[in-house]
Amino acid sequence: MLIIHKLFYSFFIILFPVLSYSQIRYGNEIIYKFTNNILENLEQDTLSNFWKAAEDFSFIGDFQNALIYGGKGRQPYPDISKSDSLFFKSFHPVDAYEYILKRARNEQIIMINEAHHFPFHRVFINTLLKGLYNLGFRYYGAEALDFRDSTINQRGYPVLSSGYYIAEPQFGNLIREALNLGYTLFPYEARSFKLFRDPKLRELEQAKNIQQILSKDSTAKILIHAGYAHIREDSLGGQWEKAMAGRFVELTGINPLTINQEVLTERIEPSIENPFYRMLEVETPAVLIDELENVFSGPEGTNYYDVRLYHPRTQYIEDRPHWLLYKNKKHVYLTDKHLFKEFPCIVQAYNFHEDVDYAIPTDVVEIVNAQTFKPLVLAPGDYQIVIKGQKGSLKKFSINVD
């Protein structure tokens, strides 16, 4: 833990109607919202509203509420059969990082998914990037990247126009790491409203956009980061017919390594967790293999994905998830009482060299009152801090984390 008692560089205080720092938007959408505003937007108890609230909470670093609202409206899983239970017990966990990097040596395309309100899925991908780069992966394609941000590779860091979900701090940090390592980033989402609204056309367009990289560089090793079911390799039927991964195989003849992160992941209540997940107690991300090194990819006979990745339950340290503490990151408390003139307030930390009017913060927390201070989680370095109050107060200052 690091407590900031003294601030380096001067800071200034601005009191005026909320402007650029406090009304950070993606299009017309305010990104970093106060809790009471998020809850006010829940006009109806619908699944889509719950998921939107979960995403909004993830943007302000409130993973507990992201879990709560991400679980509302979900139906309990049915019990698994005795045969499925026995099948699952034939597998044992191995380290997920080591397994994926070992497989990656012989893979050209890796596709990995996320749940949009689970920042840990992005943290896990972040920790894979260097190992994959060392194995020759040079392209990173993200469904969340906005094609209109055409200068991201030259600029070197993500901004609000880089994509809606990328404004979540851990997604922003993932993008920074990819750029710092030397990956070429590219968007592959469908680029017209007509295509986006048609499930079949959308999946096909995504696959074609990824194929364009191979048309320029046939030996390219590519990491694809998608949401939910887009990396399914089987035939889904319905309006989709096939997901992006299945269409990609049709177009290219390349069978990607598909890794699902969002099935064997915690939920707010055991009843809505996958039954296989409830059968495991592993402290680190894991892949499940049997004695013949076959990988668990779901109930016997299913072939949706190559790998179903297990993530451990979140532990909270000083009210922040334990998985934020990677790559020498530490808790940073701002203790100067003069910094906080009103509550609630939102605290945003930006890399010092980045433009705080447009950049994605490296961490965000909401401070509800003077008794419930949450620490930022930051790596060593220089940062610009922006504190905004709900009534319009605004402060900006700089700190050093050593």
On whether the CB atoms of residues 55 and 61 are closer than 8 A, the answer is no
Asked if the structure places residue 98 within a domain, the reply is yes
pLDDT at 344 over 50: yes
Asked if the structure places residue 107 within a domain, the reply is yes
Please report the pLDDT score of residue 337 as a whole number. Answer: 78
Q: Which two tokens stand for residue 163?
A: 């994509």
- Taking residues 43-55, what's their average pLDDT? 88
Asked if the structure places residue 320 within a domain, the reply is no
Q: Say if residue 132 is in the same domain as residue 174.
A: yes
Q: Say if residue 98 is in the same domain as residue 134.
A: yes
pLDDT, tens digit, 9 for 90 and up, residues 164-173: 999 999 999 9
User: What does the alpha-carbon distance between residue 26 and residue 219 come to, in Å, rounded to a whole number?
Assistant: 35
Q: Say if residue 194 is in the same domain as residue 48.
A: no
Please report the pLDDT score of residue 303 as a whole number. Answer: 87
**Total number of domains in the chain:** 3
Asked if the structure places residue 181 within a domain, the reply is yes
Asked if the structure places residue 365 within a domain, the reply is yes
Q: What are phi and psi of 300, to 5 degrees?
A: -55, 130
Q: Say if residue 122 is in the same domain as residue 267.
A: yes
pLDDT at 24 over 70: no
- Taking residues 191-202, what's their average pLDDT? 92
Please report the pLDDT score of residue 9 as a whole number. Answer: 33
pLDDT, tens digit, 9 for 90 and up, residues 366-402: 999 988 889 999 999 999 999 999 999 999 999 999 9
Query: For 13-17, 221-225, 240-244, 248-252, which range has the lowest pLDDT when averaged over its residues?
Result: 13-17
Q: Say if residue 156 is in the same domain as residue 297.
A: yes
Please report the pLDDT score of residue 372 as a whole number. Answer: 85
Asked if the structure places residue 384 within a domain, the reply is yes
Distances (CA, A) of 83 to 87, 89, 271, 299, 393: 6, 10, 20, 9, 60
Contacts of 328 (CB under 8 A, 6+ apart): 379, 380
Q: What is the DSSP letter of 310?
A: B
Q: Say if residue 208 is in the same domain as residue 231.
A: yes
Q: Say if residue 161 is in the same domain as residue 301.
A: yes
pLDDT, tens digit, 9 for 90 and up, residues 349-371: 999 999 999 999 999 999 999 88
Q: Say if residue 62 is in the same domain as residue 95.
A: no
pLDDT at 21 over 50: no
On whether the CB atoms of residues 172 and 360 are closer than 8 A, the answer is yes
Q: Say if residue 235 is in the same domain as residue 288.
A: yes
Asked if the structure places residue 318 within a domain, the reply is no
Asked if the structure places residue 322 within a domain, the reply is no
pLDDT at 272 over 70: yes
Q: Say if residue 206 is in the same domain as residue 87.
A: yes
Q: Is the pTM of this model over 0.75?
A: yes
State the CATH number of the domain containing residue 194: 3.40.50
Please report the pLDDT score of residue 13 as a whole number. Answer: 31
Q: Say if residue 264 is in the same domain as residue 364.
A: no
- Taking residues 264-288, what's their average pLDDT? 96
Give the structural domain span for 385.
2-30+328-401
